[in-house]
Amino acid sequence: LTSQLRQAQKMESVGRLAGGVAHDFNNMLGVILGHVELAMGRIGSMGPVHKDLERIRESAMRSADLTKQLLTFARKQIISPRVLDLNDTVDSMLSMLRRLIGENIRLVWQPGNDLWPVKMDPSQIDQILANLCVNARDAISGVGTITIQTDRKIFDQMYCDHHSGAVPGEYVLLSVGDDGAGMDKAVLKNLFEPFFTTKDIGKGTGLGLATVYGIVKQNNGYINVYSEPGLGSVFRIYLPRHIITDPDPELLSDIHEPDPIMP
């Protein structure tokens, strides 16, 4: 518990710092982008200068994407949890994910049968999937396969004894696997640390998995990682089953109106 608390505090202060920097940086990027576009409009679409400006514009846009990611991480987003079937949420994301991972990588989707509902903000599922798929894509050089699966999973006492901290109960599994580079022990140890990245500058912020971890914890879920250097990785996320309860009429009739307050 203390290590989780420490992680939460660290995320909080790192988030505040990153948010402040990202906000100012984003404003300056806006100025750069605005003037580049102005200049491009003035010189027309011919000639070498246009190409240079186009490159500046692309780079500034990529920077803007990174700062946007920083801001999302820093801001406590207002979430609106809904009762969801994860299969539907994944279905609605597939075409976006295909575009994200490109043509050389196959996306295999294996929905589990009779999934239990979960209660969470659908945009948080989107964020989890996008982050895990980008990482899977980056781990694959050339051709490869990313597999998304869902399933039911029961944590019994024995499972929880072996996975310290896990609470017995019924969960919905969302897993994203790849046959990419995999990770060694040193990477696995730091995976969820904010700003830990092995990617080149400009390619990664090191916030993807810290964000995923935050979302999963916020929803009382768990995340496990299995990875083998050279073979690939699987991220398994367990989200608690949402029990839909009909209001009990007996109980409802027991609720008394409060006594009127006399002036």
Q: Which of 144, 204, 214, 240 contacts ligand ADP by CB under 6 A?
A: 204
Q: Which of 136, 148, 173, 216 binds ligand ADP (CB under 6 A)?
A: 136
In angstroms, give the least distance from the CB of 178 to ligand ADP: 5
**Least distance (Å) from ligand ADP to the CB of residue 87?**
22
> Which region, judged by CB under 6 A, interacts with ligand ADP, from 17-25, 42-50, 162-170, 206-214?
206-214
How many Cα atoms are found within 13 Å in the side-chain-facing hemisphere of 131?
Answer: 27
Phi, psi dihedral angles at 79 (to 5 degrees):
-110, 145
Of residues 36, 205, 221, 223, which one binds ligand ADP by CB under 6 A? 205
Residue nearest to ligand ADP (CB): 208
Minimum CB–partner distance for residue 192 and ligand ADP (Å): 7
Query: In the bound complex, what is the minimum distance in angstroms from residue 147's beta carbon to ligand ADP?
Result: 12
Does 146 participate in binding ligand ADP (rule CB under 6 A)? no
208 binds ligand ADP (CB under 6 A): yes
Which residues on neighbouring strands pair with residue 240, listed in sequence order?
171
Dist CA 147 CA 227 (whole Å): 14
Distance of CA 27 to the CA centre of its chain: 25
Spatial neighbors of 89 by CB under 8 A, at least 6 apart, are 122, 125, 126
Smallest gap from Cβ 201 to ligand ADP, in A, equals 11
Candidates 181, 215, 216, 237: give the one binding ligand ADP (CB under 6 A): 181
Q: Please count the residues of this chain forming the interface with ligand ADP, following the rule CB under 6 A.
A: 23
Q: Which of 120, 125, 139, 173 binds ligand ADP (CB under 6 A)?
A: 139
* Binding flag, residue 127, ligand ADP (CB under 6 A): no
Per the CB < 8 A criterion, the answer to whether 127 and 162 are in contact is: no
| Closest to 232 in 3D by CA, of 134, 112, 88, 136 | 136
199 binds ligand ADP (CB under 6 A): yes
- Contact residues toward ligand ADP (CB under 6 A) are 131, 135-136, 139, 178, 180-183, 187, 191, 196-199, 204-210, 233
